[in-house]
Amino acid sequence: MRIFILFALLGAAFAEDAWKAANIDRTIDATSQIVKISTLYAFENVGAGPQSTVLVALSPEETRGLSLITAGVEGTKGKLKLVEKPAENGFSIYELDLRSPIAKGSKISVRVNLKITQVLEPLPAKIPQADSQFVVLHTSAYVPSKYVADSQRTVIRTTQGGKLLSTTAVNPTKQETERVSYGPYANIPAFEQKPIKVHYENNSPFVVATIVERLIEVSHWGNIAVEEYIELVHKGAELEGTFSRIDYQMDRRGRRQPAFQQFTTVLPAQAKDIYYRDEIGNITTSAVRIRADSVDVEIRPRFPLYGGWKTSYVIGYNVPSEEYLYTKGNQYALKTKLFDHVFNDIVVEKLRTKVLLPEHVRKVKIVTPYAVDRRPDELKPTYLDTTGRLVVVIEKSNVVPDHSQFFTVSYEFTYTDMLREPILASVFFFVLFLVIIVYSRFDFTISEDPAKDAAERAQRCVLLLSQDVDAKQNAYSDLISAAQAYKSNKDEAKLSSARDVFSETRSYYNNKLTEKINGMKKNDSNQNQNIAEKSSELLKYDKSAFEAVESFVKAVEKSTSKSAGQEEQQFASKVKEARSRADSILASI
Amino acid sequence: MDISKMDRYAAPVPFSSLPLLTVVLGGVGILLLAAFTMIQVTSTKYSRDIVKELFVAFSSSIFLGFGSVFLLLWVGIYV
């Protein structure tokens, strides 16, 4: 087995490469805390036939802090597919899929971009407040390559206007302002390294977010709430000695101090209800600027961040759902950013994006633009929930601003499930009402109070009787008004029909009243007997009222004049009297 | 399903009509609640009417339920 591996390694070492690098042009941008390496390879196919894949190598230092690697054919848009292959000689190998085969003897230019974090070493590691920050960049004068390179050169960009303390010389080396160039070197074999150090001034704050927790809460009532919890640590040269606010205010370097003073967070254009706070509460030193295609929040933390200092805060806002949420039938898709802008050149050690979906979603699927770690789903009960909402948790470590890309969460949801929330609230109120209804039916009296009891009973009787009496009196007045109408239009049919209706309702209510009164008479309590006797008078007065009305109607039929005669008025007053008598009887009970 | 074939999802109840809905629904709910209270206070052991009470309680709780959800949405608690 070992011999086989040995042979395999030997074979690999002596195998003729299918490619060679005709020219490599590398630019290392080390102006911020992120080292951005952009390498332009001109590969030439020297193999036996057409090739459709090519390999690129990354040095161990590059691999250590690698956050993002992208590749593309120079001069065209679109990215090439990258597949990581087993390491060789300590170098990471990535295979690029060129999409179309390259014929033997042809060349292709490929640009590979690397974003490398936390590799710049502050030297000195501790500085007083007034000093500038210097860092060391460790890299190789030769571009790491899987293939022999005919010619190559490297340019390292350092801070504008900053000092360049020292550089390792690998001739030809040229040290200019703001940049150091190495090369061109001819015929460098594969995997050849020449370690170099560049020690230069870099005052850009080395602020790293140890965690960014991004919570996206989807509400089908039309809102998407985004909240980010961010912990920042300045990982540059640590502050030595004391901090003086006066020195800080009077520092003539201004913004070019190695301290992190303020930054701008770019939010989506539709963002509203923005808040920025920490454990203490709202941080007032922030301003919102509305731009044409974004909302910029200018944030100034409570204190400037010096080396080794940390702070944490929460920023949140609302976005209308039409911005990010799509639907078709019961299918929904949320397309939003997995990571959003915090400040330029931020490095995030751990990004945790949580998506809170509405209750009762089904078939959740996630499509991300790059590989992420999907953690087990969680349940979070919030307002008006029964079982809790599904939380999709996504994690990713070592994130740079280039990771600010869209991802999609698709799920199924039934529209009517939205009604659960108001119905839940209604049920809550109804239960309260039920408690009152049941409670009021309990009797908590210790000793019986017959007088009060009887009074309540009597009140009930009066209520029942008065309903009937009122109804009957309405019938009387209906008839009278019908009679008055007859006076003007002489429509006999109408009058007779009104009469029929009247006599019907009258007898109906009279029967009802008698029934009720008889019911009371049967009751053995004294009180009830009294009530019954008094109420039977109601029927007596009814008779006189009835006669009065009858004769009134007759008088109306006879009379030819339109105005009310004296007789008629007499009758009308009689009816009124009957009514007031009935009322007084009820009141006496 | 492809996202490009989907429509943008707009709020089922426009945010601008939330205050009106809250005031109207909540107001009616509170009026019915007052009616329920009146029934409870004025009725005696012999004059209770369970059907009437349940009807008022039910309609009041529906109005209050919807009204309070719209109130939550209005004040920015997106349930």
For chain B, what are the domain ranges? Answer: 18-75
- Phi-psi label, residue A241: left if phi above 0, alpha if psi -120 to 50, beta otherwise: left
**What HEC string does A213-256 produce?**
EEEEEEECCCEEEEEEEEEEEECCCEECCCCCHHHHHHCCCHHH
Say which residue, A256 or A530, is predicted with more confidence. A256
Higher pLDDT, A589 or A267: A267
CB pairs under 8 A between A and B: 129
- pLDDT at position A532: 67
C-alpha distance from B24 to closest chain A C-alpha (Å): 15
Residue A526 predicted with pLDDT over 80: no
pLDDT in tens, A318-345: 999 998 999 998 999 999 999 999 999 9
Residue A314 tokens, joined? 């929460």
pLDDT confidence band for A17 (50 / 70 / 90)? confident
- Out of 2.60.40, 2.40.160, 1.10.3470, 3.30.420, select the CATH number for domain A214-230+258-418: 2.60.40
- The CATH topology of domain A17-201 is Immunoglobulin-like (2.60.40)
The band of A28, judged by pLDDT with boundaries at 50, 70 and 90, is very high
Q: Is the pLDDT of residue A2 over 60?
A: no
Instruction: Reply yes or no on whether the pLDDT at A579 is more than 80.
Output: no
| pLDDT above 60 for A584 | yes
Q: Specify the pTM.
A: 0.79
Each residue's pLDDT expressed in tens, for chain B with a length of 79 residues: 688 889 999 899 999 999 999 999 999 999 999 999 999 988 877 778 899 999 999 999 999 999 999 999 999 998 8
Does A11 have pLDDT greater than 60? Answer: no
CATH 2.60.40.1730 domain position(s) in chain A: 17-201
Higher-scoring residue by pLDDT: A165, A525 = A165
pLDDT score at A566: 63
**Contact (CB, 8 A) for A394 and A372:** yes
Q: Please provide the size of chain B in residues.
A: 79
Residue range A259-274: average pLDDT? 93
Say how far apart CA A3 and CA A16 lie, in whole Å.
21
pLDDT of A76: 86
The verdict on a CB contact (< 8 Å) between B15 and A421 is no
Predicted pLDDT of residue A529? 65
Q: Residue A296: its pLDDT value, please?
A: 95
Q: What is the rounded distance in angstroms from the CA atom of residue A44 to the CA atom of residue A192?
A: 19
The answer to whether the CB atoms of B7 and A327 lie below 8 A apart is yes
Annotate A497-516 with b (16+ C-beta within 10 A) or e (fewer): ebbeebeebbeebbebbeeb
Could you give the percent of chain A with pLDDT greater than 90? Answer: 51
Point out the residue among A221, A333, A453 whose CB comes nearest to the CB of B73.
A221
Tell whether A359 lies on the interface with B, counting CB pairs under 8 A.
no
pLDDT at A356 over 50: yes
Q: How far is B51 from chain A (nearest CA, A)?
A: 11
pLDDT of A10 reads 46
Quick one: pLDDT band at residue A56, thresholds 50, 70, 90?
very high
Please determine, for residue A21, whether its predicted confidence score (pLDDT) is greater than 70: yes
% chain A with pLDDT above 70: 88
Chain B residues within 8 A of A326 when measuring between CB atoms: 3, 6-9
Predicted local confidence at residue A481, as pLDDT = 76
What pLDDT does B72 receive?
94
Confidence of residue A561 (pLDDT cuts 50, 70, 90): low
Q: Determine the Cα angle at A26 with ends A152 and A341, to 5°.
A: 170
Give residue A9's pLDDT. Answer: 47
Tens of pLDDT, residue by residue over A99-115, are: 888 888 888 999 999 99
Tokens read off for A65: 């802090």
Global ipTM: 0.95
